[in-house]
Chains A and B, each alone.
Chain A
Amino acid sequence: MYNINTKTNMTKLPLLQIPKGANEFYDSIMVDIEPDLVLGELPKLKEKYKDESPKSLKERGMRYYEAFQKFNEMLKVKTLELDDKAHELHSFVIGALENLSKGQDDEDCNQIETHIKKIK
C-alpha cells in the first residue's frame, strides 16, 4: 500500500450538481409544482383536455397561473442555491491555491538542487 499522508487541510468539496441546461433546470423545478407544465407535457395538453368543461378550463387556467407564481418563488431559492454552489467552488479553488502555494514556491526545489550541488 502507498505510504501516503491522507491528512489534508483542504475541505473536500462534494460533486457539484449544477443543471447542465435550462430545460433540465426548468423541469426539475416545475415537475413538483405542476406536472402539466413540464416541457414534455406541454404539447400533449390539447389532447389531454379536449373534453374539459368551461368550468374546468377556468380552474386549469387558475392552476397554471398559481403554478408560475410558485415557480417564481422556487426560482429565487434555487438561484440562491446556484450562487452558493458557484461561490463554494470559487472559495474552494482559491483555498486550494493558497494551500498549495504554501510549499509550492520554487525555493523548495532550489533548495534541493543546492544541497545536491553541495554534496557533490
Chain B
Amino acid sequence: MNHLNKYLRLFSEQRLIHFEGFEHSSAPEEVEKEIPKEDSNENLGPDIDLPPTEESIQSENADTEQVQDEASSENANGLTERDKRNREIQSKNIDVFSKNIQYTLESKDALQSRLQSWAEASVSKHVDLLDDRLSDVHAQMSRDMEMQSRVLNDCLHRLSNMDRQGISLIDELSQIDPSDDRYRQIKTLVNNNINEANRLSTDTKPMQINLNQTFDEVDIKLDEKKGTYTDTYKDEEFDANDDAIIDQFEDGYHSRKIADDLVSALRNDNVDSVKYDLAIDKAQNVFSQMNPQQRELFEQWINDEISNAGLDQRLKFDGTGNLKIES
C-alpha cells in the first residue's frame, strides 16, 4: 500500500481532513508479486511501503538491470519460463514504481490543497458563527444605548427648562428686598433647582461615558448647564445680601467657565479635545470684546487660575487676539 494512502486514511480516521470523495486520478497500482524461486529469497521489486527516494530508484534500476543481464545469460543457458515471467514482473514493477513516485508528489499537492480548503472553510464557518453571535449582542446593546440617548436628551431638556426657571428666579430675586420673606423663599427654590440640576448632571454622567459618539457634545452641554447653576450660585447657602453673586453670573460666568475648561483640558493633557478648542474659541471671542485694560486683567486672571491649579503652562494672547500656550 502506498504510504500516502496511509496518510489519507489517518487524516480521515482522525477527522483531520474530510476527504469526502477524494480519489486521485492516477491511484497507485499495487506491484505484482513475483513467482518465488524454490531456491532463492531474492526480492527484486521496489519496496513501495517505504518512502521512495531517488537513490533507491537508481539502486533498484541497477539491480534490475543486473538481474536482466543475468537473465539474458541464463536465457542463453536455458532459462525457465518462471524466470522469464519474473523478469516481466520486475520490469512492470519498475514502471509501477515510477508511477507511484509521481503519484506521491501529486498526492502531497492534493493533500495540501485539501487541507487549505478545509482550513478556509472551517475559518469561514467560525467567522459566520461569531457574526451571528455578535449581531445579537450588538442589537441588544444598540437598544440600550438608544435608551440612554433618549434619557440623556430628556435630561438636557429638563436642564434647559431649569435654566429658564433659574433665570426667572434671578430676575425675581433682583427685584426683591433681601429683608423680604419672599427673598428667602425664592432662595430656597433656587437651591432646590441647583440640587436637582446637580443630581441630573451627575447621575447622567456615566451614561455619557457609554455613549462615545455623543460624549463630547453631551458633556459640553451638561457642563455648560452645570456651570450656569454652580457658577451663578457658587455657595448654596449664599449671603442673601450679596448681590455680587448675581453680578458674577452676568459678568464673570463666561470667564470662570472658560478658565475651568482650559484648566481642565491642560490638567488632563487633553489640548486636542473638543472642549479645549471650544474654550479657546470662547476665550478669544471674549478677549476680542474687551478693552486693553480688561484684556490684561482677563489674561492675568486666567493664568492665576491655571497657576492655582498647580499647572506650569501659561496662556498668552498675542496682538491679534489669538490665544497661545506657553510652557
Contacts and interface: CB of A to CB of B under 8 A. Distances in A.
Nearest to A46: B116
A2 B260 CA distance: 8
Given A12-B206, A83-B137, A97-B151, A46 B128 contact: no
Interface in B150-183: 151, 155, 158, 161-162, 165, 168-169, 172, 182
Contacts of B185: 115, 119
B134 A100 contact: no
Given A58-B10, A112-B192, A116-B169, A92 B206 contact: yes
A35 to B, nearest CB: 13
B120 interface: yes
B301 to A, nearest CB: 14
A65 B16 contact: yes
Contacts of B209: 12-13, 15
Interface residues of B, number: 77
Nearest to A79: B133
Interface in A71-96: 71, 75, 79, 82-83, 85-86, 89-90, 92-93, 96
* 6 closest Cβ pairs, A-B complex: A22-B131, A61-B16, A22-B130, A2-B230, A3-B230, A93-B144
Given A57-B112, A82-B133, 13 more contacts: A4-B198, A8-B202, A16-B210, A39-B127, A57-B111, A60-B115, A61-B17, A68-B122, A89-B144, A90-B140, A93-B207, A100-B155, A109-B161
Interface of B: 3-4, 7, 10-11, 14-17, 51, 104, 108, 111-112, 115-116, 118-120, 122-123, 126-131, 133-134, 137-138, 140-141, 144-145, 147-148, 151, 155, 158, 161-162, 165, 168-169, 172, 182, 185-186, 189, 192-193, 195-196, 198-207, 209-210, 212, 223, 226-227, 230-231, 233-236, 260
